Structure formats: C-alpha cells, structure tokens
Amino acid sequence: MLVGLTGGIGSGKSTVAELFARHGVPIVDTDAIAHALTGPGGAAMPAILAAFGAGVAAADGGLDRAGMRSIAFEDPQARRRLESILHPMIGAETERQIAAARSPYVIVAIPLLVESGRWAERVDRVLVVDCPVEEQKRRVAARSRLAPEQIDAIIAAQASREARLEAADDVIDNGGDLAQLQAQVEALHRRYLALAAAG
Ligand code: ADP
C-alpha cells in the first residue's frame, strides 16, 4: 500500500516522515531524490547541462539551485524543459525504491502531490499534514533565512490549505506540539497496518 505524504512548506512533512520511520516504515522522499539527481555527479546533470549550458552548474558540478530557480521562475518554457528532464527520472527512482521496500506499506513524501495530478493517481491514500498558515509561516521563518515576503510568495504558489484538505484521505493536525503529533502518527500507523492487511 502506498501512502502519499504531503503538506505545505513548514507544515511538518519531514517531521512526520521521521516519526513514521521510527515505526520501521520505509520512507521514499521525492525531494531527496531530486536533490541527489541534481547534486555533484547526479544522474540528471548531463541532460541539464546539455539543455541549459555549463552556466547552471555550481563549482562542485552540481546544479546551481539559486541560478536555476531564477531562470525557471522567469521563463516558463525553461521550467517545463527542466521538469521534462527531472520528472521522469524522479519517477523512475521513486518506483525503484518502492519496489525495493519490504513492508506492508510505504510512505512516499511528495511536497507537491496535490498540485501534480500524476502522483495523486499513483498512491493509494493521500495523507495531508495540516497546520494553520500563521503557524506554517512561523516555523519556516524560524528554520530559514527567507524574508516574510518570500515565505508568503512560496505559500501563495502552493495549493491552498483548503485544496489540500479536499484531496486528503487522512489528515494529521500539526497545529499542536510534538507529543500530539507523535500520538497521531502512532494511531495512523496502526490504521495503515490494518488497511494493508485487509488488502
Ligand atoms: P516541512 O517538511 O513540511 O517543510 P518540517 O517537518 O521541516 O516541515 O517542519 C518545519 C519546522 O517546524 C521544522 O523546524 C520542525 O522542526 C518544526 N516543527 C514541525 N512540527 C512541529 C511541532 N508540532 N511543534 C514545534 N515545531 C515543529
């Protein structure tokens, strides 16, 4: 059984994934896969350099993320081109890791699950980590150097809290403390084991 884990920036996805991992649940992290593909020696780098030129490489041979982000932000065609290189490779590596997992269910962490119809169809259940937007902003501000306007822009570019909840089969309320989060993960873990066993 595949559970797609999603939520807005700073909602607590990584924290929730870590809590499931403590129960022995395999986590396939599509963000980590994308990073590895575009890091030094990453499998996507030859195609990216061929498409955009050596200027998008950092000194270590990995992708200059800030540079690529501003190109993709200003030029939708460049963004689509980058995605047409990356998405199939991310998909293939994600499937490889899913196939290698030996457990009743697997969590696939997909930040933009609701925004990209493709993954919503692939997973059996959608698990949304929900928290109030103000709390989301506070957490992102506390852990990053982003300016408030940048945080607002990122949140505005993502699916709304309502759209995410609409797409959810299960919701974790992360408006509280970590103990509350842990208890919800434990309850869901039991539920997922039961659902997977029922086939
Ligand atoms: P995401 O992966 O969705 O961007 P994270 O799991 O990284 O979110 O959480 C964002 C930040 O908020 C992290 O610094 C994390 O430690 C913190 N955080 C998450 N949930 C809670 C919580 N319930 N209470 C306090 N801090 C939290």
Distance, in Å, from the CA atom of 19 to the CA atom of 13, rounded to the nearest integer, reads 10
Q: Measure the N-to-C terminal CA separation of the chain; round to a whole number of Å.
A: 8
DSSP 63: B
Q: What are φ and ψ of residue 197, in 5° steps?
A: -70, -35
Q: Which of 15, 29, 181 is the best mutation target for the ligand 1 pocket, counting ligand atoms within 8 Å of the beta carbon and taking the most? A: 15
Contact 164, 110 (CB under 8 A): no
User: Which ligand 1 atom is nearest residue 174's CA?
Assistant: 23
**What confidence score (pLDDT) does residue 199 get?**
85
Residues lining ligand 1, Cβ inside 6 A: 7, 9-15, 139, 143, 174, 177-178, 181
pLDDT attached to residue 101: 96
Nearest to 91 by CA among 119, 120, 128: 119
Residue 12 has what pLDDT?
A: 97
Quote the CA–CA distance of 15 and 179 in Å, as a whole number: 12
Measured torsion, CA atoms of residues 54, 41, 106, 9, in degrees rounded to the nearest 10: -40
Alpha-carbon gap, residue 9 to 28, rounded angstroms: 18
Question: How far, in Å, from the CA of 67 to the mean position of ligand 1?
Answer: 27
- Give me the pLDDT at residue 23, please: 98
- For atom 19 of ligand 1, the residue with the nearest CA is 12
pLDDT of residue 73: 84
pLDDT in tens, the chain (199 residues): 999 999 999 999 999 999 999 999 999 999 999 999 999 999 999 999 999 999 999 999 999 999 998 999 899 999 999 999 999 999 999 999 999 999 999 999 999 999 988 899 999 999 999 999 999 999 999 999 889 999 999 999 999 999 999 999 999 999 999 999 999 999 999 999 999 999 8
Q: What is the pLDDT of residue 133?
A: 96
Give the residue, by CA position, lying nearest to ligand 1 atom 11. Answer: 139
pLDDT at 198: 94
**Residue 5's closest CA among 102, 105, 74?**
105
Q: How far is the CA of 49 from the centre of ligand 1 (A)?
A: 34
Residues 7 and 52: their CA atoms lie apart, in Å, by 31
Ligand 1 centre to CA of 27 (Å) is 17
Q: What six digits make up the tokens of 13? A: 């996805």
